A = this chain, B = another copy of it.
Amino acid sequence: MDKKKEEINFVWGKPAPSLLPVKRLSLAVQTVLSSTEAATDALEYGDPAGPVQLRQEVVSLLARFYRTPNEVDEVCITAGASQGLVTVLQVLADPRYTRRVWMVAPCFYLACRIFEDAGFRGRLRAVPETDDGIDLAYLEQSMKEVDAEAVEEVERDGRRYRHLIYLVPTFSNPSGRSVPLAHRHRLVELARRFDALVVSDDIYDFIDSSEQVGCLPRLVDIDRALPLLPSDAAAHRHTVSNGSFSKLVGPGVRTGWLSASPALTRRLSQAGASIAGGCPSQLGAALVAQFLASGALTTHMADLLPAYARRRRLMVDAVAELLAPLGVTLVEDAEGREGGYFVWLRLPAGLDGAVVAAGCAEEALAILPGAAFAVAGDAGGPSYSAYLRLAYSWADEEALAEGIARLAGVVGRLQAQ
């Protein structure tokens, strides 16, 4: 290994320190803690659903971005998307009742362990992404088979769903692709038919680098527009959207939101831990609420989104220039959407992602091989061994082309062997 080379990290899907709004957040903190009333609110237990100020700000943000109406009773505050997922599983799943977790694959690999922790080890199944969306026919057939095979009929628990479906529908982690509108409708329809709950990580939606394509509606918005099913007497519906300020303010604030039907949102906000401990992110939520109310988020996003678009462009251009000639393909979205934190590369025949990643490590370049994004414990699912995920969120702008150059060197060398 060349000791002189500075480490370049394409693994970490987190904002570069230079993209954190430290000064703006510091102002928000001072505002909150200099008022006795606001400080007391921030430091005591809060409403289990989260501070109403932040819920209102989230509703406004969603309304501006998606151009759909949202109400305060459709949003509750979480301690970030990972903890939001734990809450969904605590309240709405049970390994004795819920049969499978269907994960659109390649999947956000760190979600697997959260499902395993909830008792679903060995029951996660891949639903492959396709060039035009998701393999919905496979999902439908598989849910049918699992339901037919279920020998022991566990008593119906009104609080739980029979199946879970998990995906990052917009600017997916890792593939960067977005599920087209028609597939979104069909996915919601399938969930309704199979007593499934769709949990979507909608955390990259705002990090949109596309020009003039227009944002896609969330699955939760599509679900809401449909008439209630007669079987859904509790009006819970079949979707929940997981949102986060990790990408917009900073991961450390550990503040996000869940968005669902009013009935389901109420359930989620009344999780045992939230009733016992109050809002799962009380101080963080108070700071973020002030950050939004002061207009700092709008100002910050005006800097942030072009910065991500620029990073993406730098990386994609370098891929086209240096890797395409070697047969490495950038996986593109069917409708040309561009955004999120990642590019997903397909290696030419004969190359294995793990070998390439190991070669990159020798060149002080950290990347994740595609195999990391297979669904944990699903031996029959795709392996993604011919892929690589590269994050452009963390490394400095100047390092993006240099990192791709190192990767091209490794690919070229391996091809020459």
Contact = CB atoms under 8 A, between A and B. Distances in A.
A396 interface: no
A96 interface: yes
B44 A14 contact: yes
A168 interface: no
A122 to B, nearest CB: 11
A280 interface: yes
Interface in A12-68: 14-15, 17, 20, 22, 25-26, 29-30, 33-34, 36, 39-46
A365 interface: no
Contacts of A283: 250, 252-254, 283-284, 287
A287 B25 CA distance: 14
Interface string A274-305: 11111111111011000000000000000000
Contacts of A279: 254
Most-contacted residue by chain B among A15, A90, A96, A286 (CB, 10 A): A90
A43 B252 contact: yes
A114 B82 contact: no
A46 B284 CA distance: 15
A81 interface: yes
Contact of A25 (B43, B278, B281): B43
Nearest to A255: B283
Interface stretch (A105-113, A184-192, A210-218): A105-113
Given A96-B119, A119-B94, A82 B273 contact: yes
A205 to B, nearest CB: 18
Given A90-B117, A272-B115, A22 B33 contact: yes
A83 interface: yes
A281 B43 contact: no
Interface in A74-117: 79-83, 85-86, 90-91, 94-96, 108, 110-117
